Structures are given as C-alpha cells and as structure tokens.
Amino acid sequence: MKSRRALATVLFTDIVGSTERASEMGDRAWRELLARHHRIVREEIRRWGGEEVTEAGDGFLALFDGPARAIACAWAARDRVRELGLEIRCGLHMGQAERGADGSAGGIAVHVGARVAAEAGPGEVVVTSAVRDAEAGSGFGFEDLGSRALKGVDREWRLFRVIALPADVDALRPGPWESIRHRAASRPIALAAGALVVIAGIALVRSRRSDVAVASEIRSVGILPLDNLTGDPEQAYLVDGMTEALTAELSKIGSLIVVSRTSTSRYRDTDKSLPEIARELNVAGLVEGSVARVEDRVRITVQLIHAGTDTHIWAETYERELAELPSLQGEIAREIAHRIELALSPEEETRLASERSIDPTAYEAYLKGRFHLAQQTPEGIERGLAYLQEAVELDPRAALPHAGLALGYSLAAHGPSAPPDAYQQAKASARRALEIDETLAEAHAALAQIRQYQDWDWEGAEASFRRALELNPSLPETRAHWSWYLALVGRMDEAMAEMRRARAADPLNPLWSAWLGWQLWSTGDHDAAIAEARASLELAPDFPVGLYVLGSALASQGRFDEAMAAHDRAAEVAPRWRFARGVTHAMAGRTEEALEVARDLEANLTFWDPFFLAEIYTLLGNEEEAFRWLEEGYTPPHHPYIPWIGSEPLFGPLFDDPRFVDLQRRMHLPEDALVGTS
C-alpha cells in the first residue's frame, strides 16, 4: 500500500482519568457518557475544518491544514466536554504526516503529537514550538513550559501551553464549502513543481464549485434529535423542545421540505450512518447538534451536513438566555437557508425574524407541556395541559402557551376520554394566541380542526387550513386534516394528493399511509387500500388504524377470515377498535356474532362508539337502529367522524333514505357535497 507525505497539524485528545471514571460509573453509564464525549469532539473537529483519522483510546487523532483551527478546535472541545464533567488533555504538533491510501496517518509528526498530549495536564492544550512559531503574532497566547524529553523521540522538544485565543477566533471557522479533504493529493502524480501548482489551483477551484453545488442541492432536511449534554435526563423536555422549535422554524420556508419530528425522533440513539438515515427519510440534508445548560444559560450547537456525501456544510454554537430561545430558532433557520442558497420571500424573512418574548419560567413550563403532549398518552396529555395552563398563568401575554393549549385540547378532543369542553377550550386558546400573534401557524391549525370537527364551519375551516399551511407548509398533521376536509367536499383526488404530501413530510409515521388507505377504500380501490395499510403496518406492525383499514378492505373483497384476523389484532392491541370485529361479522353475514359485539359496545358506551354502532346496524339491515346511533353521534359533543358519513362506503344502504341527506344538511355541508337522495 503506497503512502504520501503532507504537511499537517496533528491534534491528539485524551480523557483524563477515564479508567477511574469507568470503574466508578459502571460499564453502561460510562459507555453512554463516552458516546456523548465522542459526539462533541467530532462536532468540533468538523466545525473547525479538521479530518478525523481515528479514535485513539478514549480520545481522537485529527489532522488540520493549519495550526490555528487545530488550536481553536482543541480549546472548544475542552470547554464543551467539561459540561459533561470530563477533562481532556490535548497535544498538537505540525510536521510531515504520512497518509496511507486507506486514510490512516503515521510518521514522526503523529508520534510527536501523541507524546505532546501525554505531557499535557487536565484541561490543557499543549503545543510544540513548530505550532507556536507558526501562529506568532496572530493573537494566540502561549505560556512557555520549557524543553522536555518526549518518550521514544530524539532530542528535547520545547513545549507551550495555550492560554488565550484571538478575539476574532470565530472568523477562523471554515466557510460552507471549505471542506476540501486533500482530494488532489489522494492520487500520486509525478509532475514538475510549476505544473503541480497549476493543477492544485484547478483542483481547488473545482472543489469549491463542487461544495457550492452540494450545498445548493439541499432542498429537503431532517432535524435529528439534539443530544442532551445538560448532564440531567430530566432536561429532556428542553432538548426535545429545541429540536421541535427548530423544525417548526425551518418549516416556515416554503421552498424547503422539512421532515416532521415524529419521523426524525426515531433516530435518537441510532447506530445508522447519516447517509442511511437520509435515504430512509428521503432528504438531502441533516441537521444535528446538542444542547447544554447552566442555570438559565443555554448553549446550542448545530451543524448542517449534506447527507449523501457526508459533507460538512456549516456549524455554529449559540449561547443564549432561556427567554431568548424562541427568537434564536428563527436566527438558526435563516442561517441554514443562507448556507444552502435558498431565496426567502419578504414574508418568510419577517416571520423568521419575529421576536417572541416570553417569561423564562413560562417558557420552561411551555416546553414541558409540549414534551408531555408529544407522548400522546392519556397521562401525557393530562400532564401536558397542566404545564401549558401553568405557562399561560405565568405569562398571559405570550402567544406560545396559548397556542400550545389549543393544540393540546384539540388532541384531547380526539381521544376516547375527551373532556366535554375540550373543543371550547381549544377554540378560546387558539383565538387568544392569534390575538397576540397572528403568524402562529400552530394556532391557525388548531382553529382549523375546531371549525372542522366541532363547529362545522366549513368556510372558516378552509380559511384556517390555508392560512396555517401558508405560514408553515411542512405541518404534516395539518395537511392530513386538510386532506379529510377535501374528501368531505368531494375533492378526493386532491385529498389523496395532500395525504401523500403529509406522508412525505413525516415518512415514518404510520398514520398517513393508514389514512390514505382509508380514503382509497372509500373510493372502492381495495387493492391500493390494502397496499397502503400494509405499508403502514411495516412501520408499526400493531398499529390499530392500519389493521382496521387492512381488515376493512379485505372484507370488502370477501376475504373475511383474513379480515377478522386483522380486526381481532386491532381489538387486542387497542380495545376501542373492537367495533371492527362487529363490522366484519356483519359484512360476512354472521348476525349473532355482530350483535354480540354491538351489545358489548352499548353496555360500555364511549363517545367513540355511536358512529361504528351505526355501521354495524346498517350492515345488519336495521335502519332504525342505524339512524338512532347516527343521531347519537350527531348530538354534542359530536363524534369527529360524523360529517363523513357520505364518504363511508358501509353506509351505502342508507343513501336513499331522506333522513340521511337531512342529517348532512343539519351539519351545514355544502349542497354539492351531499350524498344520497332527498
């Protein structure tokens, strides 16, 4: 294997006292801490334009084109790992490094770098005179440590401790396309010195153009879960809140597809490579980073990577007070748009630059509320609403807590144990949020759902959906509910297109494929419905909505045994879906079995059941009971599905009954959307 020699600055890092810490903490805890340390050091190597060569024990070996960035990298990594309760030592030397074709590095320069690191004390960045001399007069401060003998190296070496950085050290960070990693030098070329200069110049121009092109290719991104470097698992709400907020801010850019946090959250502790993650999410770029906190001061590090080539585009560290974080997310989003050469409209610039002031204690309660709502469990929703109410009381003039409450109550209204006033609370909170800040897409989205599912204000719902998606085109849940609105008014092709867009923005959420399958089933395309249901179940094998749609489409094809197997499983994993067994029994002509399910539902009635009891009795030919249960679903609090009776194929036998059209008219449906005979 041939090797080449190149001038480089060698950086070695090493954790101080790692053996003792590992013994104290135990294997599992130490591995978790070590992984966080590794992520930080890798972030800083990338951020300062270095090239990681290998992990060296509990540290790293990295190469840099010059000493200034290498020193700045060591300093930044040293400061950040201290937040984990760790100290590292760093050693730097500049000299000729031997590079193997496999990317390895060796030679005397690497050996000296390792020995210099061994001379450093806890938290010290120590360099040789070669490094100090190269940066003389550049603003770095050095303390002379004298001459020392390095083990295994001839003669004594004069060493220096770094004690200060230049005031403008941030200017040393590479630009977005300055990640040229010795491309020209990777192939040995026997050329005269003059010709080599020319070729190197051409290579440099081509590399820069290539990196510009790589950055400008990014028109879709995923925000990976930020790392929690606070040292406190209880701060997960803060870290998740930052991930969600950054996702929301980037989603305001209409020309950028931003994958929902529901999909990206699956990669919290993954071992998958960035290119692999990008392929699964169908995105060109990934944003990753970390959050650290000391009292009310928060440090956020983010970096943008072109995932297909694993090319580092940009990285930055921000330090802010807790109350300043809502505005910081817009600043980060604007910087990312600039780095990938996205042209922002004036409206997008304004929205991303908007200042959202909030009391820090209220903001913390808001983040906790959103964190618990995201669990989507009855307990999580209850705790989330309590925290959001606390946030409103702490700062009633802040829009975010009101918008959070609106979404929380809208979510609660769809659950099996919905509070009777959930929609009223959601509406009041959404309106108050919009009085304070009309540009909150989440508040418009909540109001759209209220108008659609509770008020039956169809014109108002359409206006709210359009405004929400104008402000944030990447809200998958809003786009999915907008899809159901389009299905309701008979625009089924548009409805399915919007459901597919919801899935594109949130590709690992099984609900969107299941709902698309439901729409396909309602149009009679049973094969396509089965395919979508199975796609949903590939993501979540026991997902009840996917199981329901699969069983319903199979039953419509007369495949009742397969349908019952799917519906039995749905009832097993989510008992509120047990109605599906009654529907399948009725479709198969098994009257007694269907009635047994119906009697069980009636004996343990929830607001969820009337709609499906009406389906069972319709299929059994008992129209009076069917209409009785439809009227029950119509009575407040309305069943959320009741306006869609005209697009539900199982109600077909009722279409010729005038009561069916009358019921739709009482829900204020547009005349051209009515199904049935007057």
| Closest to 480 in 3D by CA, of 509, 460, 458 | 509
Give pLDDT, residue 191.
24
- Please name the helix (run of DSSP H) or strand (run of DSSP E) that holds residue 449, with its range, or none: helix 441-450
Cα separation, 541 vs 473, whole angstroms: 29
3-state SS assignment for residue 437: coil
Angle at 317 between CA 315 and CA 321, to 5 degrees: 150
Task: State residue 159 phi and psi, 5-degree precision.
Answer: -115, 155
* Alpha-carbon distances, residue 608 vs 457, 602, 604, 641, 652 (angstroms): 22, 11, 11, 9, 21
Task: Quick: pLDDT tens for 96-131.
Answer: 787 777 777 877 888 888 889 989 999 999 999 989
The phi and psi torsions of 189 (rounded to 5 degrees) equal -130, 125
Kindly state the DSSP code that residue 321 receives in the 8-state scheme.
E
Evaluate if pTM is beyond 0.85.
no
Among candidate residues 176, 173, 180, the one with its CA nearest the CA of residue 205: 180
- Report how far residue 3's alpha carbon sits from residue 102's, in angstroms, rounded to the nearest whole number: 9
Q: What is the pLDDT of residue 175?
A: 57
The model's pLDDT over 162-183, given as tens digits with 9 standing for 90+, comes to: 999 998 888 888 754 343 233 2
- Flag residues of the chain having pLDDT under 70: 1-6, 56-57, 152, 175-215, 310, 415-418, 678
Neighbours of 324 (CB within 10 A): 20
Bridge pairing between strands 88-100 and 125-128: parallel
Contact 14, 125 (CB under 8 A): no
Q: In residues, how long is the chain?
A: 678
What are the structural domains of the chain? 3-174 (3.30.70.1230), 220-355 (3.40.50.10070)
